[in-house]
Amino acid sequence: MIHIIKTTGYAYEDTDYGFHIKEKLAQLGYPSRILSALTDMEEIKKCIHEPLIITGGSTGVMEDFEWLHELRSFIKNRIHYHKNIPTLGICFGSQLLADVFDQGCVGPASTMNIGLKPISQLKSGEIFNTMESAYSFHFHIITSTQLEVFSAGIIGEDKFVNAFRIPDSNIFGTQFHPEFDEHIMKKLSIYYQNWLMDDFSIAIKDIPLGQENNRILEEFVALCSQKSRR
């Protein structure tokens, strides 16, 4: 069982960020359940020995919310005492993992990073073997030098850590969304079109779509299966 920790906000309409992750895991034949960081922290704490995915969200990693402080404390415990249990952070989830490990390494980008974007692969290994491009939807970036970095991305003049591992662990993060595809990205673009134009001057027609090239969730599931057999 993989436990999906959802945070705040919606991918579009009433579709939370855990929905499509659960859907993709089901397609891979792997059971999962969604827990909310806002309401289910006591249940989440019971999953300290089990695989986790932390979703994207609409909260900044250093904002002052009680649920976020509790989640940061849970992650710190996992990094220090349960680092070999497979863990994957996506977008906000990756930023949170990185910032708990290396506080202050997450900050705003010059603009929104949205759509199908190329990935600069620095090294292969673990769950990051096949990334060439993937869907993104974020405007905070990771600039840590303390992480084991597998790939990088660029927003304007900003270079950022895309895929990483906390050293000597099975705790991974990626700024991109391996659960998104072209169909989902089109819906998201339409749902947020006014906000994207008003805040970032980004029009739907300028958002790159197409065939993505990553298998992170497949590789993460394979890692979870491997660990469960031991």
Domain range holding 188? Answer: 2-228
Cα 148 to Cα 9, 69, 106, 121: the distances in Å are 29, 25, 16, 13
Tokens coding 63 = 């904002």
Pairing status of strand 10-12 against strand 15-16: antiparallel
Q: What is the pLDDT of residue 17?
A: 92
Q: What is the pLDDT of residue 14?
A: 84
Cα 17 to Cα 34, 99, 102, 120, 196: the distances in Å are 10, 20, 25, 25, 19
Q: Give the residue-averaged pLDDT of 219-227.
A: 87
Q: Give the residue-averaged pLDDT of 133-157.
A: 90
Cα 79 to Cα 25, 105, 167: the distances in Å are 24, 17, 10
Express each pLDDT in 160-203 by its tens digit: 999 999 999 999 999 999 999 999 999 999 999 999 999 999 99
| CA atoms within 13 A of residue 200's CA, in its CB half-sphere | 22
Give the three-state DSSP class for 36: strand
Nearest to 160, CA basis, from 181, 148, 144 = 144
Q: What is the pLDDT of residue 135?
A: 93
Strand order in the sheet with 2-6: 32-36, 2-6, 52-54, 87-90, 171-174, 158-165, 148-155, 120-121
Nearest to 86, CA basis, from 229, 227, 215, 230 = 227
Q: How many domains does the chain have?
A: 1
Cα 195 to Cα 107, 198, 200: the distances in Å are 20, 5, 8
Which CATH number goes with the domain that contains 194?
Answer: 3.40.50.880
Flag the least confident range among 75-84, 142-151, 174-183, 209-218. 209-218
Q: Are 164 and 136 in contact (CB under 8 A)?
A: no
* Single pTM value for the model: 0.94
